[in-house]
């Protein structure tokens, strides 16, 4: 529903642009037949720079943004940078050289793109920061994302709920602990990592202070918990190290705060290799984010406790709507003009809502909304 209305707005906007350009008979060939890509629309290319194809989430984002833009008549230059910062910088340089009109960028390192953005601004190219805020540049025109602090709160809260310290309705649970937990954070060069961490840590801190939660490793600082580039293997290695160093006395891990499903899968592998989830030792309560299909299956199978669903279809729609406004020389509509200071300016933002998903609502949140089919959830694979 949301998707359709967003695209309708976009289509209408583009029609106005075309009328202003004096393009006649858009979509109609000389023989009067409808052509698939109206010529005038194709004059505008939107560059889309995505970080990596190793994560299903970014594949979906790239696909959704591309489809949305194409449906509205734009040409799209979609590039993935393999999580390599120089590659992404180079891709953006090329987009600028080729004369793309708007750039939609999900940065690998949010601080590494200032010179590219300054060239873009000089060339009159507008820049939308996609999901991850680009820092240290005045040349970011708009930001589309989710309420990232709230995502962290949701992750922290679901860890508490899974452990029984809180009830689903938000009231205090009957469990008293103490529970052994370990904390993971995302990649420190991604602005979101700090927001997720702050939201989660603020939520967990009272329970750490009261002794109901015990971070047995003592690693409670974000730089101790951070996983560079959000890598699954790095997370697995850190969990293995934690098990060896802090749980070699027969004690068990009861919960793990994980900020992202890929990291959760690394944590799960380390735990399974150490005998968790087999006979005798329960899997800890493990959180996540992105509702990646492999992790949704793990949730259904009772291996991972929760994830945070961020509907990338809606995010893509917002990026398309914002791109349209910028092409038309308008300010995209923001719903937050305070939170996202990138170190140089507060970037006007459109933030979407996220949702906690556990085994109880996989179907209503992910299948009934058409995000996945039941067959995909059962197989743990997107088709
Ligand atoms: C963040 C994003 C998360 C997750 C993570 C790892 O920037 O907000 O949803 O995808 O990157 O890719």
Per-residue model confidence (pLDDT) at position 168: 87
CA of 260 to the centre of ligand 1 (A): 7
CA of 290 to the centre of ligand 1 (A): 7
CA of 147 to the centre of ligand 1 (A): 12
Per-residue model confidence (pLDDT) at position 23: 31
Ligand 1 pocket test, candidate residues 131, 143, 151, 235, most atoms within 8 A of CB: 131
CA of 186 to the centre of ligand 1 (A): 8
Q: Which residue did the predictor score with more confidence, 15 or 196? A: 196
Atom of ligand 1 at shortest distance to CA of 260?
4
pLDDT band for position 383 (cuts 50, 70, 90): confident
Ligand 1 pocket test, candidate residues 53, 56, 57, 145, most atoms within 8 A of CB: 57
- pTM given for the model: 0.89
pLDDT band for position 40 (cuts 50, 70, 90): low
Work out the percent of the chain whose per-residue pLDDT is above 90: 85
Ligand 1 pocket test, candidate residues 83, 145, 198, 290, most atoms within 8 A of CB: 290
Lowest mean pLDDT among 26-30, 46-50, 281-285: 26-30
Atom of ligand 1 at shortest distance to CA of 230?
6
Q: Tokens representing 355?
A: 């949702």
């Amino acid at each position: 529903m949301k998707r359709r209305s967003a695209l309708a707005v976009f289509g209408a906007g583009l029609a106005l642009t075309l009328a202003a350009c004096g393009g006649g008979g858009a979509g109609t060939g000389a023989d009067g037949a409808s052509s698939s890509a109206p010529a005038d629309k194709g004059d505008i290319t939107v560059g889309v720079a995505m970080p990596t194809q190793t994560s299903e989430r970014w594949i979906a984002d790239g696909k959704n943004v591309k489809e949305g833009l194409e449906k509205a008549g734009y040409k799209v230059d979609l590039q993935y940078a393999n999580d390599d910062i120089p590659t992404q910088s180079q891709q953006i340089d090329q987009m600028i050289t080729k004369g793309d009109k708007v750039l939609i960028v999900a940065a690998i390192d949010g601080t590494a793109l200032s010179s590219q953005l300054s060239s873009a601004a000089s060339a009159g190219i507008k820049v939308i920061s996609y999901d991850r805020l680009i820092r240290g540049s005045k040349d970011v025109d708009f930001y589309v994302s989710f309420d990232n602090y709230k995502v962290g709160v949701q992750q922290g809260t679901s860890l508490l709920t899974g452990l029984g310290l809180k009830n689903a309705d938000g009231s205090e649970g009957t469990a008293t602990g103490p529970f052994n937990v370990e904390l993971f954070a995302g990649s420190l060069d991604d602005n979101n990592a700090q927001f997720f961490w702050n939201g989660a840590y603020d939520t967990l801190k009272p329970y750490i202070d009261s002794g109901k939660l015990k971070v047995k490793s003592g690693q409670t600082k974000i730089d101790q918990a951070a996983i560079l580039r959000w890598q699954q293997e790095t997370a697995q290695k850190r969990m293995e190290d934690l098990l060896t160093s802090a749980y070699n006395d027969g004690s068990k891990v009861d919960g793990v705060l994980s900020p992202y499903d890929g990291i959760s899968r690394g944590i799960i592998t380390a735990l399974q290799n150490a005998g968790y989830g087999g006979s005798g030792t329960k899997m800890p309560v493990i959180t996540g984010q992105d509702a990646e299909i492999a992790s949704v299956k793990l949730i259904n199978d009772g291996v991972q406790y929760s994830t945070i669903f961020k509907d990338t279809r809606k995010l893509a729609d917002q990026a398309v709507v914002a791109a349209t406004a910028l092409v038309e020389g308008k300010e995209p509509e923001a719903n937050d003009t305070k939170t996202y200071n990138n170190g140089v300016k507060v970037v006007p933002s459109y933030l979407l809502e996220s949702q906690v998903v556990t085994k109880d609502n996989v179907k209503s949140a992910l299948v009934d909304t058409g995000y996945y089919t039941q067959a995909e959830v059962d197989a743990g694979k997107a088709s």
